[in-house]
Structure 1
Amino acid sequence: MNIIRLSRTNLSSGSFLKVETREVDDWEQQFTDALEIGYSYQLAKRMEQFKTNPALGYRTAGSKAEFETGEMLRREMEAIGLKDVHKDKVTVDAWEFEKAEMRFTDSEGVRHCFQLGAYQTNFDTEGTREFEIVYLGKGTADCYDCVDVEGKLVLVDINQRDEWWINFPVYQAHLRGAAALVAVQEQGYGEVHNTALNAQDIAGPADAPAFSISQADAWVLKKAMMEAGSCPDESGMEPGNMGAVLVEFEARTTVAPDRETYNIVGTIPGRGTDRMILITAHYDSYFSGFQDDNAAVAMMFGIARALLKGGYRPKFNLVFCAMAAEEWGVANSKYDWSTGAYEEVFTAHPEWRGKTFANFNFELPAHAHGQMDAVRCTYEYEDFLSRFLEGVEVDEAAYPDGVEVLCPIQTWSDDFSMAVAGIPSMVNEFSGGEFMETHYHSQFDNDNVYQEPVYLFHHVLYGRLVMAFDRLLLPPMNFERLIRAVTDSDDVGIRRKAEADIWEMKRALKKAKEVSRVLYRRITELNRDYAALLAQGDMDAADRMFERYGDMQERLLYIFRKEQDYFVRLNWHDEVLFPQEAVQDNLRALYKALRHAGEGNARAALEDVYGIDNNRYAFLFDEQVFNYFTQYVLNQPGNRLKWGAGRIVHHENLFQLVRSLKEKLEEGREKAVDLTPEYLELKRVTENQTACYRDDIRYMTESIKKLTAWMQECLTM
Structure 2
Amino acid sequence: MRTLEEWEEALALAVDTDYSYGLARRMEAFKTNAVLGYRTAGSRAEWETGEMLLREMQALGLRDVHKDRIRVDGWEFEKAVMRFTDGQGQEHEFQLGAYQTDFHTHGFEAFSMVYLGKGTAESYRNVDVEGKLVLIDINQRDGWWINFPVYQAHIKGAAALVAVQEQGYGEIHDTALNAQDIAGPEDAAAFSISRADADIIRASMIDNEARVMFDACSTVTRGCRDYNIVGCIPGQEEDGKILLSAHYDSYFSGFQDDNAAVAMMLGIARAILAIGYRPGKTLVFCAMAAEEWGVAGSKYDWSTGAYEQVFTACPSWQGQVIADLNFELPAHAHGRKDGVRCTYEYVDFLEEFLCGIKADGQAYPDGVEVVYPIQTWSDDFSMAIAGIPSMVNDFSAGEFMETHYHSQYDNENFYQEPVYRFHHELYGRLVLALDRTAVVPLDFRRLFEAVKESVDPGTCERTGADRKTLFAAIDRAAALGGRLYDIIKDKNRCYREMLRSGREEEAGRLAASCRELNRALLGAFRKEQDYFVRLNWHDEVLFPQEAVQNNLKAVSRAMDCLGTGDVRGALEAVYGIDNNRYAFLFDREVFCYFTEYVLDQPAGRLKWGAGRIVHHENLFGLVTGLKAKSCEGAPDLEGEMQTLKQVAGRQALCYRDDIKYMTACVEKMAQALMGCMDLA
Bin for the TM-score computed over the shorter chain:
over 0.9
CA contact (8 A) 2:237 2:282 kept: no
Distance 2:5 2:631 in 1: 72
DSSP 3-state at the match of 1:120: coil
Per-residue CA deviations over 1:197-224 (Å, capped at 9, x if unaligned) read 0000000000000000000000001101
Deviation at 1:30, TM superposition (A): 2.0
Who is 2:202 aligned against?
A: 222
| Alignment of 1:289 onto 2:257 | no
In the TM superposition, what is the alpha-carbon distance from 1:700 to its structure 2 partner?
0.3
Which AA in structure 2 matches 1:71? Answer: E
**Does residue 99 of structure 1 match 2:79?**
yes
> Mapping of 1:148-547 within 5 angstroms?
148-225=128-205, 228-229=206-207, 242=208, 244-547=209-512
The residue that corresponds to 1:654 in the other structure is: 619
Does the 8 Å contact 2:27/2:259 carry over to 1? Answer: yes
The corresponding residue for 2:678 is: 716
| Partner residue, 1:89 | 69
Give the distance between the partners of 2:513 and 2:361, measured in 1 at CA.
45
CA displacement 1:205-262 (0-9 Å, x = unmatched): 000000000000000011011xx23xxxxxxxxxxxx2x2111000000000000010
Q: State the shift of 1:674 in Å.
A: 1.5
Whole-angstrom distance in 1 between the partners of 2:420 and 2:262: 12
> Aligned AA for 2:667?
K
* Distance (whole Å) between structure 2 residues aligned to residue 527 and residue 617 of structure 1: 51
Residue number among 93, 98, 101 corresponding to 1:118 in the alignment: 98
The aligned runs of 1:551-562 (5 Å cut-off) are: 551-562=516-527
SS of the residue corresponding to residue 469 of structure 2 reads helix
| SS of alignment partner, residue 25 of structure 1 | helix
| Alpha-carbon distance in structure 2 between the residues aligned to 1:544 and 1:23 | 20
Residues 90, 344 of structure 1: 8 Å contact kept: yes
Which residue of the other structure, out of 636, 641, 665, is the alignment partner of 1:703? Answer: 665
CA distance in 1, matches of 2:398, 2:222: 35
- Given that 1:315 and 1:470 are in contact with CA atoms closer than 8 Å, whether structure 2 keeps it comes out as yes
* Kept after mapping to 2: 8 A contact 1:277/1:317: yes
Corresponding residue for 1:686? Answer: 648
SS in 1 for 2:228: strand
Runs of 4+ with deviation above 3 angstroms: none
Partner of 1:133: 113
The share of aligned pairs that are identical, in percent, is: 64
CA distance in 1 between counterparts of 2:292 and 2:325 reads 18
| Preserved contact between residue 480 and residue 673 of structure 2 (Cα < 8 Å) | yes
1:552, 1:274 → 2: CA distance? 12
Is the partner of 2:631 in helix, strand or coil? helix
Counterpart of 2:608? 643
Cα distance, 1:26 vs. partner? 2.4
Q: Which moved more, 1:605-614 or 1:287-296?
A: 605-614
The alignment partner of 1:212 has SS state of strand
Q: Which moved more, 1:52-61 or 1:589-598?
A: 589-598
| Of 30, 34, 39, the match for 2:10 | 30
Q: Residue 33 of structure 1: CA displacement?
A: 1.8
- Other structure's SS at 1:579 match: coil
State how far apart, in whole Å, the 2-side matches of 1:24 and 1:709 are: 36
Residue type of the alignment partner of 1:57: G
- One-letter code of the match for 2:281? F
Is this contact kept in 1: 2:241–2:282, CA < 8 A? Answer: yes
Single out whichever of 99-108 and 596-605 deviates more from structure 2. 596-605
Please report the RMSD computed on the Cα atoms of aligned residues, expressed in angstroms. 1.0
Which residue identity is paired with 1:83? R
1-structure distance, mates of 2:583, 2:463: 27
1:593-612 correspondence runs (5 A)? 593-612=558-577
Q: Per-residue CA shift, 1:548-590, capped at 9, x if unaligned?
A: 1111110000000000000000001111000000000000011
Q: Displacement of 1:538 after TM fit? A: 1.2
Question: CA distance change for structure 1 residues 86 and 23 in 2, over 3 Å: closer, same or farther?
Answer: closer
Please give the secondary structure, in 2, of the residue aligned with 1:455: helix
- Per-residue Cα deviation, 1:508-562 (whole angstroms, up to 9, x for no partner): 0111111111111111001111111111111111111111111111000000000
Deviations 1:489-526 (A, max 9, x none): 01111111111111000110111111111111111001
Q: Distance in 1 between matches of 2:180 and 2:676?
A: 44
Distance 1:406 1:524 in 2: 21
Deviation at 1:603, TM superposition (A): 1.5
Q: Which amino acid aligns with 2:102?
A: N
**In the alignment, residue 154 of structure 2 is paired with which amino acid?**
H
Residue 217 of structure 2 aligns to a residue whose secondary structure is strand
Measured after TM superposition, the shift of residue 24 of structure 1 is 5.5
Distance 2:467 2:284 in 1: 44
Which whole-Å CA distance do the structure 2 matches of 1:154 and 1:650 have between them? 34
Q: What amino acid is the match of 1:283?
A: Y
How high is the TM-score relative to the length of structure 1?
A: 0.94
Q: Quick one: distance in 1 between partners of 2:196 and 2:580?
A: 33
Q: Contact 2:42 / 2:74 at 8 angstroms: preserved in 1? A: yes
The 8 Å contact of residues 363 and 430 in structure 1, kept in 2 or not, is answered as yes
| Residue deviations 1:423-455 (CA, integer Å, cap 9, x gap) | 000000000000000000000000010000000
* 1:640-688 C-alpha deviation (Å, 9 max, x unpaired): 00000010111000000000111111223xxx42111111111111111
CA contact (8 A) 1:598 1:676 kept: no
Which residue in the other structure is 2:636 paired with?
Answer: 674
The residue type equivalent to 1:154 in the other structure is V
- Contact map agreement 1:273 1:315 (CA 8 A) in 2: no
Shift of 1:597: 2.0
Q: Tell me how far apart the structure 2 counterparts of residues 542 and 388 of structure 1 sit (CA, whole Å).
A: 21
Question: What is the DSSP-based 3-state SS (H/G/I as helix, E as strand, rest coil) of the residue aligned with 2:230?
Answer: strand
Structure 2: which amino acid aligns with 1:707? M
The answer to whether the Cα contact below 8 Å between 1:601 and 1:673 also exists between their aligned partners in 2 is no
Q: CA deviation at 1:621?
A: 0.5
1:392 and 1:464 map into 2 onto residues whose CA distance is: 9
Deviation at 1:23, TM superposition (A): 9.2
Structure 2 unmatched runs, 5+? none
Q: TM-score, normalised by structure 2?
A: 0.99
Distance 1:707 1:451 in 2: 44
SS state at 2:545 partner: helix
Q: Aligned AA for 1:258?
A: G
